[in-house]
Amino acid sequence: MALLVMQVAMSGELVEVFEMPVDDVDGHRMLAYANEDERAILRAGQILEDGEVWIDLIDTDGETLFDQVACFHRADAADALQVHFDMNAEVVRDCLSKSNVASLYARHHVAAQAYFRKVDRLVDCSGVSSRQSNRRRVGDASIMDLVVELRRRLDRADTLVALSELPTRVQAAAGQLKEAAKSYATAVQHL
């Protein structure tokens, strides 16, 4: 089962306003018809315009299933969502209302900030120390010192809790990094 995800552009970002489960075949068909609509905007790297509505078909892992998203100007979006995606007029009106989009945009920003704070804590970057000083500290350390520190941080309980709240692929990458650090340390010890 796939998800049709509707997003509205605001301040250069896309804010998710609605998602609905659909059969993969139906989702592909809906998006194909929507893209054939003369009101559809063909995206070619342009800057997002506030109010544009983007519709994408994704799988349960968040991966895009269709090559081209459907995109409509704010003025055409309500009708397009009703015609091509069989959405109820009241639901469309509620989803696309400026107050709803502004509220979701604010929540999106709070969530994004919280996410990046967690990532910063994972790599122990404080707001006080600069990226340059972090790079300098890394540059001054030997590779073995870095591996030992990396293993220590990846084994900490707070790191494991923070990782558990991140996407699965990030958790998997952290696990691979931990294993690689362990393998490196073991190989160096046997020299």
Q: Which residues form the domain of 42?
A: 2-108
Span 135-186, pLDDT tens digits = 444 444 456 566 666 777 777 776 777 777 777 887 788 888 888 877 777 7
Question: Does a structural domain hold residue 47?
Answer: yes
Same domain? 95 vs 129: no
Distance CA 9, CA 160 (A): 34
Domain final position from 108, 132, 154: 108
Question: Does a structural domain hold residue 48?
Answer: yes
What single DSSP character describes residue 124? T
Same domain? 13 vs 83: yes
Cα–Cα distances in Å, from 180 out to 46, 96, 105, 149, 151? 41, 47, 39, 13, 10
How many distinct structural domains can be found in the chain? 2
Same domain? 98 vs 137: no
Cα four-point dihedral sign 163, 169, 175, 178: negative
Same domain? 21 vs 104: yes
Question: Does a structural domain hold residue 51?
Answer: yes
What single DSSP character describes residue 12? T
Question: Does a structural domain hold residue 99?
Answer: yes
- Give the count of beta carbons closer than 10 Å to the beta carbon of residue 66: 19
Question: Does a structural domain hold residue 140?
Answer: yes
Long-range contacts, stretch 133-138, CB < 8 angstroms, 24+ apart: none
Which residues, in sequence order, are CB contacts of 141 under 8 Å at separation 6+?
149
72-76, 98-102, 114-118, 128-132: which range is least confident on average?
A: 128-132
Question: Does a structural domain hold residue 130?
Answer: yes
pLDDT grade, residue 96 (50/70/90)? Answer: very high
Same domain? 29 vs 76: yes
Distance CA 18, CA 133 (A): 42
Question: Does a structural domain hold residue 117?
Answer: no
Same domain? 102 vs 139: no
pLDDT grade, residue 11 (50/70/90)? Answer: confident
